[in-house]
Structure 1
Amino acid sequence: MPYVSSSWVRLPVMLAGAASFVLLGTGAANAHVKWFCAFDVAGQPRGLEQVLCTDFELLTGLALVCLMFGCLAEGTPLGTAILNALDRATAAVRDNSALIVRAVVGFFLVSLWNLGGIILTPELKTDIAWIPWLQLAMAAGLLWKRTLPLTAAGIVFLFGLAVWNYGAFHLADYPVFLGVAAFLALTAFDRTLFGQRPIDVVRIAAAITLMWASVEKWAYPHWTDPLIAAKPAMTMGASPELFMQAAGVIEFTLAFALIWTPLVRRASAIILTAVFVSAILEFGKVDAIGHSGIIAVLIAIAADDARVPATRRDVVLTPVYYASALMLFLGVYYFAHGVLYGSTYGIGAGMRGLPVI
């Protein structure tokens, strides 16, 4: 029988603590850590054989059960009733979702202009004097539908500039910006991208962003040590290591849910919106500016009424796709880091220890 740590006995408490940790904003997204704590992207990550421990497998197993339960409930009269209620409650938002995204992105760009010295997100600093003015011009481009592609092009340009200055691995945290750019351009032209609606494109980009960020919680749990040290009660008796594992699993599961069935993804969007809004109360203006765009996107996702009825096949396939996404993001993260920074420690041993779900 595999060893189960004594702290696992307190699983309900630990999960509640992890959820509280997320809702307080100290771990809702890795960007919080990069904005408020010291970090080193090129530093040695924790080995995969340390990440993929028994506690991690049990946590992901529990998360998977929750996903399957939500998917199974979706095909019942109760699930249909919940979706109908969501449709009625979010009708006004749904009818104005594109306008809401444009308004919030405009607020975001004007705020960057006001702060100055920032490329898209707080930790990406620049001393190029014309970038704030470009961001102000991009905000003006959001006023008219025909100029939305210019703002989208500006976002892509700034993202590329950030890649040039900070590297592709660092910017892998932020594909949601490219999703927002695609949303704006597709909305302007009333087009889809290979059959994917604008909201679908930005939803997938948001999911990728958050799944990647969750891996960094497992790879670099020590980045959050100053926050846990300042607020030790948030762990509710769990060890910081187990607490960060649980926080990462919660975030990864909610992010994966964004690309799953309609009720599951809408519920996830609502929870994540609460996560990011709660974080603003803890971290203030910088957090409000930095996460304003993704909050607007999540609100639009929560209001999206597109439905493809969930089936038993979806329930059966949930473990397959969840496990595949988990292995993909872990594998790509560690492989890319090893290639770019030469830190391959733990990859071989860790991959042999991947959980079977």
Structure 2
Amino acid sequence: MRTLASLAAPPLLLLAGTGSASAHVKWFCAYDVAGQPRGLEQVLCADFEWLTVLALACLMFGCLAEGTPLGGALLNALDRVTARIRTDTELLVRATLGFFLVSLWELGGIILTPELKTDVAWIPWLQLAMAACLIWRRTMPITGLGLVFLFSFATAQYGLFHLADYPIFLGIAVYLIAQGLGFKPFDIRSLDLVRWTAAITLMWASIEKWAYPDWTAPLIAAKPQMTMGATPELFMQAAGVIEFSLAFALIWTPLVRRTSAIILAAIFVSAIVEFGKVDAIGHSGIIVVLLAIAADDARATVRVRDAAWAPAYYGGALAAFLALYYLGHEVLFDTAVGQGDWPVI
């Protein structure tokens, strides 16, 4: 078995290469959602466990640091640096989403994301009309309702399991409706709702990296430098753990989630350098959401017990998403999990 030291270096180095892995593989490679996912007994291996422990240690360290004077100083610095983004968050969301929708209209034949193809001629024009509605604050809710409609339309065409990749669109829809009408759904800030859907989106996507690592094989073959010298197997495990951990951090304490949002935004932007226009259009929405999270100056009292509870919440989230993914796939596609038996955890 590898030592902890030998496993500590790859995740740190692979963080730089995770940008390539964060390019949505379904946009660039062949995939089969109904295909048999890799068995859990293969996913939950020794490397996976060490990587998870390292990620959890980083999460706990960040949480503990937040309650110190250093943590307060870092939050104050973030507040100053991101002041303009915070002031103009709504404007940035509207402008970016307008760019996104106009780009979909220009490309044509796409429902929300590049792999969701359609021959319905009026879909691009609906997306252009939705972009126009973002010009005025009062018509923002129309765009939000349009996103809900397109999400539902795509679900009917491609199935619920496929669209489980994209709940962030529903979060953005709620944000636009709430901001346009000036109310708090369930007395929750609209930005917090978007933050939760962004976290769910990325945690679900990370499971896919473990369940279907072969989907990314053509990308690794074409760009072997993205693995930073690690084996493809270790790279995909690390990419999934990093993405899941950063996504989970989005629902944790203020400094932790803001730091996570900055790292994730940098990862997505670096993926654009590798994969170009399609990736820029497809990920523009989540990038602007991550910038809004990074600029959010909401504070909360952080105690030692928050760090102490981190393993339980993190482990619970990991177990829940693995169970939802594998059981959901088995129910919807009538496939056996792994070799037919769930591993003992």
Shorter-chain TM-score range:
over 0.9
Cross-structure match for 2:299: 307
Cross-structure match for 2:183: 191
1:233 paired to 2:233: no
Cross-structure match for 1:209: 201
Cross-structure match for 2:344: 352
Of 10, 30, 41, 1:14 maps to 10
Cross-structure match for 1:249: 241
Change (3 A) 1:101 1:35: same
SS of residue paired to 1:122: strand
Q: For each residue in 1:221-265, what CA deviation from the matched residue of structure 2 results, as whole angstroms up to 9, or x when unmatched? A: 011111111222332332211111011000000000000000000
Within-5 A mapping of 1:227-306? 227-306=219-298
Q: d(CA) in 2 for partners of 1:269 and 1:94?
A: 14
What amino acid maps onto 2:162 in structure 1?
H
1:135 paired to 2:127: yes
SS of residue paired to 2:110: coil
Q: d(CA) in 2 for partners of 1:209 and 1:328?
A: 14
SS of residue paired to 2:298: coil
SS of residue paired to 1:124: strand
Quick check: 2:199–2:250 contact (8 Å CA) kept in 1?
yes
Q: For each residue in 1:257-296, what CA deviation from the matched residue of structure 2 results, as whole angstroms up to 9, or x when unmatched? A: 0000000000000001101111111111111100111111
What amino acid maps onto 2:226 in structure 1?
M
SS of residue paired to 1:291: helix
Quick check: 2:8–2:54 contact (8 Å CA) kept in 1?
no
Q: d(CA) in 2 for partners of 1:98 and 1:66?
A: 32
Quick check: 1:258–1:269 contact (8 Å CA) kept in 2?
yes
Change (3 A) 1:351 1:188: farther
Q: For each residue in 1:307-335, what CA deviation from the matched residue of structure 2 results, as whole angstroms up to 9, or x when unmatched? A: 11211111111111000000000000000
Cross-structure match for 1:109: 101
1:337 paired to 2:290: no
Cross-structure match for 1:37: 29
Q: d(CA) in 1 for partners of 2:63 and 2:18?
A: 23
Quick check: 2:109–2:119 contact (8 Å CA) kept in 1?
yes
Q: Report deviation, 1:347.
A: 7.8
Quick check: 1:193–1:201 contact (8 Å CA) kept in 2?
no
How does the TM-score come out when normalised to structure 1?
0.94
Q: d(CA) in 2 for partners of 1:209 and 1:98?
A: 21
Cross-structure match for 2:22: 28
Q: d(CA) in 2 for partners of 1:221 and 1:5?
A: 22
Unaligned runs of 5+ in 2: none
What amino acid maps onto 1:201 in structure 2?
L
Q: d(CA) in 2 for partners of 1:278 and 1:268?
A: 15
Q: d(CA) in 2 for partners of 1:321 and 1:295?
A: 26
Q: d(CA) in 2 for partners of 1:92 and 1:77?
A: 25
Q: d(CA) in 1 for partners of 2:221 and 2:45?
A: 24
Q: d(CA) in 2 for partners of 1:317 and 1:348?
A: 33
Q: Report deviation, 1:52.
A: 0.6
Cross-structure match for 2:56: 64
Quick check: 1:48–1:349 contact (8 Å CA) kept in 2?
no
Q: Report deviation, 1:351.
A: 4.4
Identity %: 66
Unaligned runs of 5+ in 1: none
What amino acid maps onto 2:136 in structure 1?
W
Quick check: 2:37–2:338 contact (8 Å CA) kept in 1?
no
Q: Which deviates further from its counterpart, 74-83 or 303-312?
A: 303-312
Of 142, 149, 152, 2:141 maps to 149
Q: d(CA) in 2 for partners of 1:285 and 1:233?
A: 21
Q: d(CA) in 2 for partners of 1:86 and 1:350?
A: 44
How many residues get paired?
345
Q: d(CA) in 2 for partners of 1:14 and 1:218?
A: 17
